[in-house]
């Protein structure tokens, strides 16, 4: 098998990895904000439930979470699982896992906004939701960008964990090629793919941080 073929196969796997990456961010970034609100809720039982959820997501391996989400419908409820559920289960597991991490990041950002901002907004007549959307949120984004960048870079690498569900993403493909070829080349090429992808992610996040540098407080 020549390098072009390896590249082609890994490229195809990479597109699957990219899908997992994008769908996970699209799901977990908004969900994380909701979870953060639940965590900070004045309704104590809700806050406790959310805290338990966060601690489980952060305290157990993502690989195990992938397996549980995949097998739970069958072993838990006797629902037979179709083959395309592999990909869906992967996305579900990634989204709920990353939402927990993002929630804690949002929370720290929201809690770091000085109380005076809320007071100024309150006196000017902004409602609570207006205050959050127009005054607090952008400031939170600036404050949490470095932490979010860390998570996003971790996510790029974590997509490889979906090999446990045999989702045909890049790492699964590389493993298959390596086994068939009895060679490390596919792994090396996959490593380059991950590295370059992360370099691009870091570059983009860096640009966003620069854009937010127009003010400091």
Interface residues with other proteins (CB under 8 A) are: 114, 116-117, 119-120, 122-126, 130, 134-135, 138-139, 142, 214-217
Minimum distance, C-beta of residue 78 to other proteins, in the bound complex (Å): 44
Q: Return the CA Rg of the chain.
A: 21
The alpha-helical segments, DSSP class H, found in 112-169 are 115-124, 128-130, 137-158
Can you read off the two tokens belonging to residue 24? 């996970």
2 or 217, CB closer to other proteins? 217
Can you read off the two tokens belonging to residue 29? 């970034």
Let me know: does 40 contact 107? Beta carbons within 8 Å: yes
Let me know: does 16 contact 167? Beta carbons within 8 Å: yes
Integer angstrom CA distances of residue 34 from 25, 29, 31? 14, 9, 5
Minimum distance, C-beta of residue 66 to other proteins, in the bound complex (Å): 38
97 or 139, CB closer to other proteins? 139
55 or 127, CB closer to other proteins? 127
Minimum distance, C-beta of residue 38 to other proteins, in the bound complex (Å): 17
Q: Which residues have CB under 8 Å from 164's CB, separation 6+?
A: 63, 66, 67
15 or 124, CB closer to other proteins? 124
Minimum distance, C-beta of residue 205 to other proteins, in the bound complex (Å): 18
46 or 202, CB closer to other proteins? 46
Integer angstrom CA distances of residue 173 from 81, 159, 168? 23, 13, 6
Minimum distance, C-beta of residue 212 to other proteins, in the bound complex (Å): 8
CA–CA dist 7, 177 (Å, integer): 11
């Amino acid at each position: 098998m020549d390098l072009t073929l390896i590249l082609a196969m890994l490229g195809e796997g990479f597109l699957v990895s990219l899908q997992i990456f994008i769908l996970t961010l699209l799901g977990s970034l908004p969900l994380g904000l909701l979870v953060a609100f639940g965590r900070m809720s004045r309704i104590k039982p809700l806050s406790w439930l959310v805290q338990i959820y966060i601690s489980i997501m952060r305290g157990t391996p993502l690989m195990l979470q992938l397996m549980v989400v995949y097998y739970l419908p069958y072993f838990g409820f006797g629902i037979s699982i179709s083959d395309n559920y592999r990909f869906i289960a992967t996305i579900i597991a990634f989204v709920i896992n990353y939402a927990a991490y993002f929630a804690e990041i949002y929370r720290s950002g929201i809690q770091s906004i000085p109380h005076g901002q809320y007071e100024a907004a309150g006196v000017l007549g902004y409602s609570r939701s207006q205050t959050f959307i127009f005054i607090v949120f952008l400031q939170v984004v600036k404050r949490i960008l470095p932490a979010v960048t860390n998570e996003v870079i971790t996510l790029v690498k974590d997509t490889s964990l979906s090999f446990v569900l045999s989702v045909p993403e890049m790492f699964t493909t590389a493993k298959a090629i390596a086994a068939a070829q009895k060679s490390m080349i596919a792994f090396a090429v996959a490593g380059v793919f991950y590295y370059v992808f992360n370099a691009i992610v870091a570059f983009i996040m860096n640009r966003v941080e620069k854009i937010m540098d127009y003010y400091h407080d």
